[in-house]
Structure 1
Amino acid sequence: MVMADELQGKKIAFIATEGVEQVELTEPWKAVERAGGQPELISIEDDEFHAWKHFDKADTFKPDKTAEEAQVGDYDGLVLPGGVANPDQLRTDENVVGFIRDFAAAGKPIGVICHGPWTLIEAGVVKGRKITSWPSLQTDLRNAGAGWVDEEVVVDAGLVSSRKPDDLPAFNAKIVEEFAEGTHEESAEKTEQAIHAEATPS
């Protein structure tokens, strides 16, 4: 049961762009608002973009900030929704990737669903982490050193992951719980190890 003030005073970043699966953006957003948190939309540019509902264009969304403008220290949690085209573009933007890497390095809680983990792979922060995703990402995640599992929702030291829109009720409950708990020292340590491994030639 989400309490109305569980996230009072906490600001939660949502990073998305053209092609985001709408329900994976809007449902966690509502969950954060219901818990008293303040969601803020970050994107590559400040132009409006279309969300998608499966293979059809859905509503348009106007970002509050660009990834270049956003500061990790201003946020208490991060949500990375899915949709195929959305993370495919986000992972090629150095400001987005840098923000995610720094967010993970700070040990702050992150929620990621569906194809969203692609950006985590690009940021080099999944090695040694237990995670789930849309099934087609499992090889990518395992190749990046993550332990992939097929479960509705997975929590690993503040990293919350789910597979698909059907998992949203469980995902939303867990991200609110983790965002309320705050920074995880264990998550920061795991991220540091993952980034170090990424930077060290094999």
Structure 2
Amino acid sequence: MNQTLKGKRVAIVAADGFEESELSSPRDALKNAGVDVDIVTPEGNDIRAWAETNWGDTYSADKALTDVNESDYHALVLPGGLFNPDALRVKEDVLSFVKAFFHAGKPVAAICHAPWILINAGLVEGRRMTSVPTVAQDLRNAGAEWVDEAVVVDNGLVTSRTPKDLDAFNAKLLEELQEGRHSGQHA
């Protein structure tokens, strides 16, 4: 356990259809480092994973979005998958919650299709980012510089492409969480 991360709290915001490994792997890496993790869903309902080619396990929600604030957490994780970010990016309460982390300068980590949420929240212009290749043009159109790298860090914003990049994604997430607030993180 990393003593500098003990007592830190991270929210993972997800809905049905998140890519299972993109939630379970960061969650496990955080917990193994001594971080408290809450799975936060829009209504506080359990959510079902997508596991590469079919439906996966059901995950229990720890909190409903209406019951949490950015101030409750030190960082935010947004898993990808196709269905999950597409559903979340049109929910104003989700977008407001995500924006609050940027306003506070706290680390945010998004993988795969999750940058769609950041695009809809108006948070990617001028940022250097990566994602699954099918989201690359969306990021460019929103003013981000898209690069094809396993993990990209831009002032507390951690992005990765796919589950094959989870080791790099998790390592940078833990590093940014340990560093804490980032004055360059902006909304």
The root-mean-square deviation of aligned C-alpha atoms, in Å, is: 0.9
In the comparison of the two structures, how many residue pairs are matched?
187
How is 1:161-176 mapped onto 2 (pairs within 5 angstroms)?
161-176=159-174
Per-residue deviation, residues 129-162 of structure 1 (Å, max 9, x unmatched): 0000000001110111111000001010110110
Q: Structure 2 counterpart of 1:39, which letter? A: V
Question: Using the alignment, how far apart are the partners of 1:113 and 1:106 within structure 2?
Answer: 21
Q: Structure 2 counterpart of 1:38, which letter? A: D
Alignment match, 1:54: 52
Q: Structure 2 counterpart of 1:30, which letter? A: D
Offset, 1:66: 1.6
Q: Does the Cα contact within 8 Å between 1:157 and 1:186 map onto a contact in 2?
A: yes
Corresponding position: 1:4 with 2:16: no
Offset, 1:70: 1.3
How is 1:97-108 mapped onto 2 (pairs within 5 angstroms)?
97-108=95-106
Corresponding position: 1:109 with 2:107: yes
Question: Using the alignment, how far apart are the partners of 2:79 and 2:165 within structure 1?
Answer: 12
SS at the partner of 2:184? helix
- Structure having the higher Rg: 1
SS at the partner of 2:134? helix
Per-residue deviation, residues 42-88 of structure 1 (Å, max 9, x unmatched): 11112212101012111101211122221000100110000000000
- Of 128-137 and 50-59, the range deviating more from structure 2: 50-59
Question: Using the alignment, how far apart are the partners of 2:94 and 2:119 within structure 1?
Answer: 12
Q: Does the Cα contact within 8 Å between 1:15 and 1:43 map onto a contact in 2?
A: yes
Displacement over 3 Å in runs of 4+: none
Q: Does the Cα contact within 8 Å between 2:10 and 2:77 map onto a contact in 1?
A: yes
Q: Does the Cα contact within 8 Å between 2:17 and 2:82 map onto a contact in 1?
A: yes
Offset, 1:38: 0.4
Question: Using the alignment, how far apart are the partners of 2:153 and 2:182 within structure 1?
Answer: 12
SS at the partner of 2:101? helix
Gaps of 5+ in 2: none
Corresponding position: 1:92 with 2:90: yes
